């Protein structure tokens, strides 16, 4: 986390970060960054593995492989937490 969801997602889009997990979503913080990631060829998911949208609770982004691995790790952490 660099302190800004939009910046985190821009770093994923330009390849300077492999992926990011944002667990506190506000649509106005995420929307533009999610579009930028998708337009750069990246993937954006909710923590349940569904495609990210404005009603998503969480944001997980990266290339297809990285994003899916992050979704699995977040899911595993959630299962272990209770």
pLDDT tens sequence for the chain (82 residues): 777 899 999 999 999 999 999 998 888 999 999 999 999 999 999 999 999 999 999 999 999 899 999 999 998 887 776 6
Q: Where are the beta strands (DSSP E) in 1-82?
A: 19-22, 43-45, 59-62
Exposure of 3 in the CB half-sphere (CA atoms within 13 A): 0
Would you give the DSSP letter of residue 50? S
């Amino acid at each position: 986390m660099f302190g800004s969801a939009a910046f985190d997602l821009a770093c994923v889009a330009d390849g300077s970060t492999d992926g990011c997990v944002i667990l506190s979503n506000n649509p106005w913080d995420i929307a533009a960054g999610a579009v930028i990631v998708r337009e750069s060829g990246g993937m954006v998911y909710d923590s349940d593995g569904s495609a990210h949208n404005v009603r998503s609770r969480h944001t997980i982004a990266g290339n297809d492989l990285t994003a899916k691995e992050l979704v699995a790790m977040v899911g595993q952490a959630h299962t272990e937490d209770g």
